[in-house]
Amino acid sequence: MSWTDMARNGRILIVDDAMENIQILHQALQDEHDVLFAMNGAKALHIAQNQRPDLILLDAMMPDMDGYAVCRALRESGATRDIPIIFVTALKTPEDETRALEAGAADFITKPVNAAVVRARVRTQLTVKRQSDALRELTLTDGLTGVANRRGFDEAMDTEWRRCARARMPIALIIADIDHFKAYNDAYGHQAGDDSLVQVGGAMRRAAARPQDLVARYGGEEFVILLPQEDKRGAEVVARKLLDEIALLAIPHEKSGASPWLTLSMGVASLMPADGLLPGGLIKTADALLYEAKAGGRNRYCLQPD
């Protein structure tokens, strides 16, 4: 499938205070795209935060909150800053277009609109976004295991921490380490070590299967599982499932002092984000619990105490 073909399947948010304008744009785009609409800036921001459209068509002149203010608000939010915005407006001067671009718009279309031009401009911006998303995914993914890398985890932690704080929901973290991994590499070779890392990453994704869950390779043989909107009891369920998944792999490890098979040790913690608390505190707690699990014999998890 080409980039252009992929650009025909985007989710488009139309923002305009006049229903007739929304209907015109909907008619032009409905055959190729999933179309949403909002008739004011506040509703547009709510939809953008919660439904994450691939592109926004934004009117400049609206009551209460104009398009320029909406555009700036979208650009200031980590959740929406990368959504391309096309201004669709009756304003026509070079100064108006410059103002829109300086506010963060990717393109500028004047009314009355031409349907063919709108479709072409939308496809162009969606193609650019698809290419940018693919490149970004590469920079956030561990090349060996296919799970997120450390940078991907750091970005996800920051985003989910803020989201859970707004929703007043807890966030949980599991830090896991493969037991006696250096001895495994020494005994079986680095290729076998790489293969085991790939299998462990797959087991983690099966254990943490909700769309919002994130598995990341934290470094070497250490992995993390980020569980937004989950308390420590829910995280414990994931940890138990992960131990079962690792056991099912049945990867021999004759040099391990914990088991004849490859095993994990884990620290499991959860925290309610609030003012004065930082993600580093959750990481530090889970890491300390990981070392407790290692000191307790490995092939187990330690859960944050009540």
The one-letter code for the residue type at 189 is: G
CA distance 243 to 235: 13
Give the number of other CB atoms < 10 A from CB of residue 82.
13
- Inter-CA distances, 199 with 15, 158, 244, Å: 46, 27, 13
Residue 141 forms beta bridges with which residues?
Answer: 148
Known catalytic residue: 221? Answer: yes
H or E element: which one contains 81? none
Give the number of other CB atoms < 10 A from CB of residue 16.
26
Order of strands across the sheet that contains 34-38? 34-38, 11-15, 55-58, 85-89, 107-110
Which candidate in 97, 221, 236, 245 is catalytic?
Answer: 221
Query: What positions carry a catalytic annotation?
Result: 221
